[in-house]
Structure 1
Amino acid sequence: MTATRPGGEPSIRRYLEHPRGGPTVLRIVLGTQLRRLRERSNITREAAGDAIRGSHAKISRLELGRTGFKERDVSDLLTLYGVTDEAERADFLALARQASTPGWWNRYSDVLPSWFETHIGLEEAASVIRTYEVQFIPGLLQTEEYARAVVRLGHPRSPVPEVERRVQLRMERQKLLRAEGAPRLWAVMDEASLRRPLGGPAMMRAQFEKLLEAARLPNVTLQVAPFEIGGLAAAGGPITILRFQEPDLPDIVYLEQLTSALYLDKPDDVDNYLAVLDRLSAEACTPRQTEEFLQGLIDAGRG
Structure 2
Amino acid sequence: MAAAQPGRVPPPRPHIDHPRGGPTVLRIILGTQLRRLRETAGITREAAGDAIRGSHAKICRLELGRVGCKERDVADLLSLYRVTDEKRRAEFLALARGTSTPGWWHQYNDVLPGWFETLIGLEEAAFLIRTYEVQFVPGLLQTEQYAHAVCRLGNPQASRTEIERRVELRLQRQALLTASNPPRLWAVLDEACLRRPMGGRGVMVAQLRHLLEMTQLPNVTVQIAPFDLGGHAAAGGPVTILRFLEPDLPDIVYLEQLTSALYLDKRDDVDHYLAVTDQLSAQAASPRDSQAILRKMIRAMEP
CA separation of 1:284 and 1:248: change in aligned 2, threshold 3 A: same
Is 1:156 the counterpart of 2:127? The answer is no
Please say if 1:182 is aligned against 2:182: yes
- How far the C-alpha of 1:44 sits from its partner, in A, is 1.2
Counterpart-to-counterpart distance in 1, 2:255 and 2:217: 26
2:31 matches 1:64: no
What is the deviation of 1:223?
0.2
Residues 16-27 of structure 1 mapped to structure 2, 5 A cutoff: 16-17=16-17, 19-27=19-27
Distance 1:256 1:66, change over 3 A: same
The answer on 1:110 being equivalent to 2:115 is no
| Higher deviation after alignment, 279-288 or 196-205 | 196-205
Q: Distance in 2 between the 1:8 and 1:73 partners?
A: 20
AA aligned opposite 1:99: T
Identity %: 70
Residue deviations 1:140-163 (CA, integer Å, cap 9, x gap) = 000000000001110111111111
Task: Using the TM superposition, give the Cα deviation of residue 52 of structure 1 relative to its aligned residue in structure 2, in angstroms.
Answer: 1.1
Task: Give the number of aligned pairs.
Answer: 297
Paired amino acid for 2:223: Q
1:53 aligns with 2:58: no
Tell me how far 1:190 sits from its aligned partner. 0.3
**Distance in 1 between residues matched to 2:121 and 2:135, nearest whole Å:** 24
Q: Please state how far the C-alpha of 1:301 moved relative to its aligned partner.
A: 2.2
Partners of 1:244 and 1:9 lie apart in 2 by 21
> Equivalents in 2 of 1:168, 1:238: separation in Å?
23
Is the alpha carbon distance of 1:222 and 1:216 closer, same or farther for their aligned partners in structure 2, counting shifts above 3 Å?
same
Could you tell me how far apart the structure 1 residues matched to 2:18 and 2:259 are? Answer: 34
**Cα distance change, pair 17–260 in 1 and its aligned pair in 2 (3 A):** closer
**8 Å Cα contact 1:51/1:76 also seen in 2:** yes
- For residues 97 and 122 of structure 2, the distance between their equivalents in structure 1, rounded to whole angstroms, comes to 19
Higher deviation after alignment, 11-20 or 52-61: 11-20
Q: What is the aligned partner in structure 2 of residue 172 from structure 1?
A: 172
Unmatched 5+ stretches in structure 2: 1-6
Q: Is the 8 A contact 1:123 1:129 kept in 2?
A: yes
3-state SS in 1 of match to 2:186: strand
TM-score, normalised with respect to structure 2: 0.95
Letter in 1 for 2:212: L
- Aligned residue number for residue 135 of structure 1: 135
Q: In structure 1, the residue corresponding to 2:189 is in which secondary structure?
A: strand
CA drift of 1:14 comes to: 3.2
1:198 pairs with 2:198: yes
8 Å contact kept, 1:15–1:26: no
Partners in 1 of 2:164 and 2:203 — Cα distance? 17
Q: Give per-residue Cα distances to partners, 1:46-65, cap 9 Å, x unaligned.
A: 11111111111111111111
Q: Look up the equivalent residue of 1:284 and give its one-letter code.
A: A
Aligned to 1:53, the other structure's residue is in SS state: coil
User: CA offsets per residue over residues 97-144 of structure 1, 9 Å max, x none?
Assistant: 111101111111111111111111111111100000001101000000
Give the Cα–Cα distance (whole angstroms) in 2 for the partners of residues 241 and 269 of structure 1. Answer: 11
Alpha-carbon distance in structure 2 between the residues aligned to 1:199 and 1:58: 44
> How do 1:218-257 residues align onto structure 2 when only pairs under 5 Å count?
218-257=218-257
What does 1:9-88 align with in structure 2 at a 5 Å threshold?
A: 11-17=11-17, 19-88=19-88
In the alignment, which residue of structure 2 is the partner of 1:94? 94
C-alpha distance 65-224 of structure 1, shift in aligned 2 (>3 A): same
In structure 2, do the counterparts of structure 1 residues 177 and 8 end up closer, same or farther at CA, with 3 Å as the change threshold?
A: farther
Instruction: Determine if contact 1:188/1:224 at 8 Å carries over to the other structure.
Output: yes
- Opposite residue 145 of structure 1, the aligned amino acid is Q
Pairwise CA distance, 1:10: 5.4
What is the distance in 2 between the residues matched to 1:284 and 1:246? 30
What is the CA deviation profile of residues 236-273 of structure 1, one whole-angstrom value per residue up to 9, with x for unaligned ones?
11000001111111111111010011111111111111
Q: In 2, are the aligned partners of 1:108 and 1:169 still within 8 Å (CA)?
A: yes
Structure 2 contact 142–207 (Cα < 8 Å) conserved: yes
Stretches (4+) displaced over 3 A? 7-11, 14-18
CA RMSD of aligned residues (A): 1.4
